Amino acid sequence: MKIFLLLILPFLLFSKVHYAKVEPYESVILKSSVSGSVTDVNLDFEGKTVISERVIHIDDKLDIVNLNDSKQNIILLKDMFKLNKDIASTLNNSMQRQEEYYKRISKLSTASKTQKDNAYSAFSAAKTQYLSTKEKIISLQKQILDMQFKVTQLEDTIVKKSVMLKDKYLYQLLVRVGDFVAPGTPLARVENIKRAKLVLFLEAEELEKLASKSIYFDGNKTEYKVDKVWKVTDEKFISSYRAEIIIPAPKDIFSKLIKIEIK
């Protein structure tokens, strides 16, 4: 009798019954990355799979105005840039002629000191004007780059002020019209219900040769395997290790309780 008990004891240890509910594969809390007042919340989509819709809108009126103004500024800056390049080309030609004249007259013994000084002054003035225009061109280039970056930032901000969902299950909207949100404010809870998972907590002895063991759902043997096991014990169940089994999404509803045996 003792021998019989010893033989069946390992089986009893490794066929411990667990219960787990069918949960969405992924659950995420969407948080705001911008600031502003909430102008629209589409409550009709709460509790539904959203194919492609905007569910939350944060005020972006001033951002749109700023964006349009910034784009217009870029056009004006580019016009100024082109104009100054033409001016610089003309000034460069003038500077070269003044330089050639100065070099030629400075070598003439018949030219007076006043003539030579005037020639140098004219060359120096032409060069200064040319370099000043070149400096302005560089400044305009920088302004254009800065304005283009501002446009990119504004476009990104405007996109982020419309919370769009595509093929996601909207579990709960966490804000309402009139709320002011800041970066980090929770906006909505969304879930991936294309697949499902079962979360269970296994004891250390259950993890031994886990890959070779069979999984039973409600007493029926399945082809499923444990997909993920945490190597550190759970904070709540301090002597157990969290594990997940990935399964297809249920055809009807989630949260069904399943009896699981691993043996």
CATH code of 236's domain: 2.40.50.100
User: Which of 107, 131, 160 is a domain's end point?
Assistant: 160
Distance CA 84, CA 144 (A): 14
User: Which of 133, 160, 187 is a domain's end point?
Assistant: 160
Answer yes or no: is 5 within a domain.
no
Can you give the residue range of the structural domain that contains 54? 15-59+163-262
Identify the pLDDT of residue 8. Answer: 40
Answer yes or no: is 4 within a domain.
no
Answer yes or no: is 10 within a domain.
no
Cα–Cα nearest to 179, from 38, 57, 33: 38
Q: Are residues 111 and 190 both part of a single domain?
A: no
Identify the pLDDT of residue 135. Answer: 96
Q: Are residues 144 and 178 both part of a single domain?
A: no
Q: Are residues 53 and 176 both part of a single domain?
A: yes
Work out how many domains the chain is built from and give that number: 2
Answer yes or no: is 2 within a domain.
no
CA dihedral (217, 222, 225, 231) in degrees, to 10, reads 20
User: Which of 160, 178, 199 is a domain's end point?
Assistant: 160
Beta strand segments in 2-121, E: 17-31, 36-41, 48-58
Identify the pLDDT of residue 15. Answer: 63
Answer yes or no: is 7 within a domain.
no
Identify the pLDDT of residue 2. Answer: 42
Output the six-digit token pair for 137: 């061109």
Q: Are residues 72 and 139 both part of a single domain?
A: yes
Contact 17, 196 (CB under 8 A): no
7 alpha carbon, distance to own chain's centre:
57
Distance CA 244, CA 220 (A): 18
Q: Are residues 87 and 214 both part of a single domain?
A: no
Q: Are residues 30 and 149 both part of a single domain?
A: no
Q: Are residues 136 and 218 both part of a single domain?
A: no
Identify the pLDDT of residue 235. Answer: 82
Output the six-digit token pair for 219: 């007493």
Q: Are residues 40 and 116 both part of a single domain?
A: no
Q: Which stretches in the chain have pLDDT values below 50? A: 1-14
Q: Are residues 54 and 65 both part of a single domain?
A: no
Distance CA 140, CA 138 (A): 5
Q: Are residues 80 and 207 both part of a single domain?
A: no
Partners of 190 in beta bridges? 28, 170
Distance CA 250, CA 241 (A): 26
